[in-house]
Structure 1
Amino acid sequence: MPASESMSEAATSTSPAMAMSTPWTYQVTPDNAHPEHPRPQLTRPTWRTLNGLWEYVGRDADGVVHRGERILVPYPPESRLSGIGRRDERMWYRRTFDVPPEWRTGRVLLHFGAVDQIATVWVNHQLLARHEGGYTAFTVDITDVLRPDAEQEVLVRADDEGNRGTFAVGKQANQPGGILYTGCSGIWQSVWLEAVPEIHVTDLDLTPDLRGFDLVAHVAGASSPPTVDVSVALGDEQVTSVRGAAGERLRLDVPDPLLWGPDHPHLYDVTVRVVNDDGDVLDEVASYVALRTVRVAPDGDGPPRVLLNDRPVFLNAPLDQGYWPDGIYTAPTDEALRFDLERIKALGFNSVRKHVKVEPMRWYHWADRLGLLVWQDMPSLPVVLDNPPGPQAPPVAVARRRFETELRAMLHQLRNVPSIVVWVVFNEGWGEYDTARITEEVKSVDPGRLVVAASGVNCCHSHPDSGAGDVYDDHTYVGPGRPELAATDPRAIVDGEFGGIGLVVEGHMWPGEPLAYEMAPDRDRLTERYVELSTELEALARDRLSGAVYTQLTDVENEVNGLLTYDRRVVKVAVPVVAERNRAVIAAGSGQ
């Protein structure tokens, strides 16, 4: 029996929910767990994955310590694919690895895509790092503690209190139910090694417009700023280049520029080389960039609209929560990540709202490649949803500090992603506080994207409308909402959530009572209801509405209001009909 099957069966035996699989569940083995390069916008050939089987010890919420287990990284222990199928609050991961001799001439970096919530890292028994926050990447330079003649050892301790604690959690819950779901603990994104020269590129800043882009190359290891050569190519043809100093803003104008958008997601390849005075290449990294702008402005004499590349565009999106029955927070494979986005395109959408979760960088890579306009939520702090509607007390001080620290880290990590056009700071008042101040800070950090201060400002636990940000965001179920603003209000208007029509598909259900805002009896009626809502939406799009988010792409645990089942095996609507309606809405709201 393959190792993956025996591990899956062990995890399945702990919970009926773990029996649900996806088309990719049985493709996963310890030898092929997310083997792709985890950081597509900054690559070198000298890297290797540490995904696979790790030794594992977990202490659960009752204080019971489970020893002698193995876990498949990068799947969280709650998941079937991890081989554990249990929620632990303290986790110890250990494995050994080798460092190739040719890597010894420079630095060796250990990268973590995400570890929820606090990660402590030892290499060869030396404490090297402590990282807080479950949604952002971090890097450890392990060069100075490497052994010269033996295997290397890495030990990671992860501490995760779930939504009992003071970190952003999105919709993770220790007691899942309703619109809150199974939590994700510990390592849940790829772990990998990278060899870099002593003088090496650490990061790039890419700021595009409609004629080209500005680039800043950040370089470590040099006593003074070295020279960098930058070349830009489209396919096999170089289109422009520039030479300058690391750390300085370099301008690259692109002749006959091809702009990025949903219909034509043109990407330019970027190569950055660090060179010495003799012209020798000290380091080389590959990246990519897209030429596009987004802003809100009046459409001629009309109301404020979202403008992509100076042209009106209606952002028509499904809500995408990024949950998987077999991997929970971690998609089973890269193909599965891509599948969801390809299905969104096939359904006629041009956009997607990533709801209170930050995905691995490869998800954004596929959104860039496929041409989807991304609304990126900041994961929310824990919230009690049983309280009466209206603003709740502000989070405690340490939670506020951690939220803002992780928000800044998210903005930095995702700043170069072309497909992201909207930041969403708060959702329905969950953990909301100091709305205007934080929104203004986000806008000052990234003036080239739109900011939603409070998605669903009209409902739930949201604070009164602060007027901050670029977009007023309404939630109405089943809707669509018909929000109105004063004619002088400069913000665009969107229905940040609507829909939520459910359909139960037997044999494709998570255990428990199915939930939706309205139930349809069969596929035909669900499609009819979608057409009815979409027809109303089209009329609103012709008026002032600039975007809408339908709830939702897939079922999630007991929520059955997806266009697909949770296991991705059944599309619950007639795709040609829904796609035609979605394209009609986009055309109406884009002035076509």
Structure 2
Amino acid sequence: MLDLKRVLAAAPRKPDGTPLEELLTPWGEALLQGEESPEPLHPHPQFARDSFVCLEGMWDYAIVDAPEAATARRDVPAPATWDGTIRVPFSPEAPLSGVGRQLQPRQLLWYRLRTACPAVGAGQRLILHFEAVDWACRCIVNGCEVGGHTGGYMPFSFDITEEAATGGAQLEVQLCVWDPSDSGVQLRGKQRLQRGGIWYTAQSGIWQTPWLEAVPNVHLRQARILPDPDGEMLQIIATANAPSEVPLQVRVFADGGLVAEGQATATEPFPALLQKEREFDQAISVAVPVSRPRLWSPDDPFLYQLELTLGTDRVRSYCAFRTVAVQAGADGLPRFFLNHQPLFIRGVLDQGYWPDGLMTAPSTEAMTHDITAMKDAGFNLLRKHIKVEQDRWYYLCDKLGMLVWQDMVSGGGPLSPWHSSYKPTLFRNSWTTKADTAPRDWRHLSADSADYRAEWLATCVLTVRYLENHPSVVIWGLFNEGWGQFDARAATEIVEFIDPTRPIDATSGWYDQGVGHFFSVHNYFRPQEVFRQPAPRRAFVVSEFGGISFPVPGHCALKTQYGYGTAHSPEEFAVALREALSQMDALEAEGLAGFVYTQLSDVEEETNGLLTYDRRVNKMDAGAPDAARS
């Protein structure tokens, strides 16, 4: 039976614009106090060369009014004067940036960095990398435009060898950014210019690490890492701008010792699942036998170290051997399997937001804290919610043994309150009866923009390719609660073609289309049970539930709170949480394959986290207010 009292208490409220209380995480506080941080981790630990130059730090910035910003960004000149400095990679809206300004849709955000140009030897190229910029940008180096990029969540790079040479020992990088936020239809996740409830402060610009890298003229561009534990084989399929006769050598290490090696030269035809950046790119496939590989799991997150060598180019990487699938368990019911053994998913929803950095974690240590806190509490999976995280985060999950359920990022037009919230909340039968293939359906689900649909499909493909080498990533989530949903069947077929090794949650929450590997529901307002599902039978998961609000005084961003039911003391919260998790554990015997509890931390008005927004209080500890970490 629907709990109407709980529904009414959780009804969306109109944002009132109340300023957020300033909250700092321990790592943000240390950054502002100038404490030295450890040596920066490579932005891509799975594709790392020995030397790189991190460009995090203070850049010049300017926010410029531009009524026609969408087109002006392509050719408007840099400003004559600058507003001040910004701490990169934090967005201007994030407190750690030192700016504290909200970029508007009719404004442009300019960046400028003047720095020493790294030494580039004969036979080398200089590559400028941006891990993520929200949303559209163009880049200028030493006065010469080197390219642009559109999309807020994927990494991109520019070869700036010739442009850098014109500046002698100095390098000047300028970046012009336009971000329409939720006034547009582009992918944006939980960001809104008018935050409130389940929607968070919009951010813009550079929000992940920029960096420089010198590479040989002949070098590796990317590598697909395909471990096969059952076949005791590791296959590497690499892209390189190399003559066909240059071999790729692969060496595999475990516990510091060499366990296997192999080499091969370019193959034809070029595999469709690799990105061919240049006409002269070559594809090289190397198969290396690995006898009796040690399997990766949350209990034993064992990583093999790899060394890929192509001519003078040497890349450090790693891999893990594991299998994931959805198949029938001993009771005949569909279950999630890891390494051919059933594993009950005990997950937590992870928004990836921080009070001082917004979508940017204050440090690697901060990301490690979140992962280990959830693992110590007995959870084995994080559902990265409607956000693609920086590559370092996935490396930490690989290293620490935390499974990842990866959502795709949503966007599109304004949400219909009826179709996105009220109808599925009140009428459970709507979860399996609404289609998503016609223009009328797309209008209901905020997906009627052709530009949005094209960007969603392109970014979905790029996300799978970007993250497919990470052993921690075990599930792809495509659409959430109908938001921006369109033709989930076709999307599922595309992802299955790109990556046949991972199960797919096609529609998390509602508006199921009978595809994918899960019947995935959100249940905040009804008694927990294993619901009957339409054919074909898939693994049943409650991919969101719980959300018990417990505001801890002194650790809240707002005086108002949002959640699904409220606890008024640490003891009351502990009892409610224990009961909620115990109910889910008991349903495993009835066919539940797993659950995802809402959520890892408080976020702005939401106070339904297991940790406070500033990460200083773990609410799962008895006497939580006395357990503050500083």
SS in structure 2 at match of 1:449:
coil
Task: Tell me the number of residue pairs that the alignment of Structure 1 and Structure 2 aligns.
Answer: 551
Change (3 A) 1:543 1:576: farther
1:88 aligned onto 2:124: no
* 1:484-523 alignment runs, 5 A limit: 484-485=531-532, 489-523=536-570
1:402 aligned onto 2:455: yes
Asked whether the 8 Å contact 2:413–2:448 carries over to 1, the reply is no
Change (3 A) 1:63 1:223: closer
Partner of 2:178: 159
Inter-partner Cα distance in structure 2 for 1:478 and 1:253: 51
Partner of 1:361: 391
SS in structure 1 at match of 2:239:
strand
Inter-partner Cα distance in structure 1 for 2:27 and 2:605: 21
Partner of 1:588: none
Give the counterpart of 2:495 among 442, 462, 470: 442
Give the counterpart of 1:558 among 605, 609, 614: 605
Partner of 1:249: 285
Percent identity, please: 39
Give the counterpart of 2:239 among 207, 218, 241: 218
Change (3 A) 1:270 1:480: farther
Change (3 A) 1:429 1:213: same
> Runs in 1 of length 4+ with deviation above 6 angstroms?
60-66
Partner of 1:45: 50
Report the alpha carbon displacement of residue 62 of structure 1 after superposing the two structures with TM: 9.0
Inter-partner Cα distance in structure 1 for 2:534 and 2:459: 36
1:17 aligned onto 2:17: no
1:304 partner letter: P
- Name whichever of 473-482 and 509-518 sits farther off: 473-482
2:55 partner letter: L
Partner of 2:295: 259
Inter-partner Cα distance in structure 1 for 2:534 and 2:513: 17
Structure 2, gaps ≥5 residues long:
1-16, 70-78, 267-282, 424-443, 625-630
Change (3 A) 1:576 1:567: closer
Q: Deviations over 1:321-358 (max 9, x none)?
A: 00000000101111001110011111110111000011
Report the alpha carbon displacement of residue 386 of structure 1 after superposing the two structures with TM: 5.8
Inter-partner Cα distance in structure 1 for 2:489 and 2:329: 26
2:25 partner letter: T
Partner of 1:580: none
SS in structure 2 at match of 1:394:
coil
Inter-partner Cα distance in structure 1 for 2:390 and 2:95: 19
Change (3 A) 1:76 1:18: farther
| TM-score, length-scaled by structure 1 | 0.89
Inter-partner Cα distance in structure 2 for 1:547 and 1:41: 29
RMSD: 2.3
Give the counterpart of 2:304 among 250, 253, 268: 268
- Name whichever of 288-297 and 375-384 sits farther off: 375-384
Report the alpha carbon displacement of residue 538 of structure 1 after superposing the two structures with TM: 1.4
- Name whichever of 499-508 and 385-394 sits farther off: 385-394
SS in structure 2 at match of 1:345:
helix
SS in structure 2 at match of 1:444:
helix
SS in structure 2 at match of 1:28:
helix
Give the counterpart of 2:353 among 323, 343, 347: 323
| TM-score, length-scaled by structure 2 | 0.84
Change (3 A) 1:552 1:309: same
Inter-partner Cα distance in structure 2 for 1:575 and 1:310: 37
Structure 1, gaps ≥5 residues long:
1-13, 276-281, 458-462, 578-592
1:141 aligned onto 2:141: no
SS in structure 1 at match of 2:129:
strand
Report the alpha carbon displacement of residue 451 of structure 1 after superposing the two structures with TM: 0.7
2:46 partner letter: Q
Partner of 1:198: 217
Give the counterpart of 2:522 among 448, 459, 475: 475
1:75 aligned onto 2:90: yes
SS in structure 1 at match of 2:497:
helix
1:555 partner letter: D
Partner of 1:540: 587
Inter-partner Cα distance in structure 2 for 1:251 and 1:556: 46
Inter-partner Cα distance in structure 2 for 1:539 and 1:498: 15
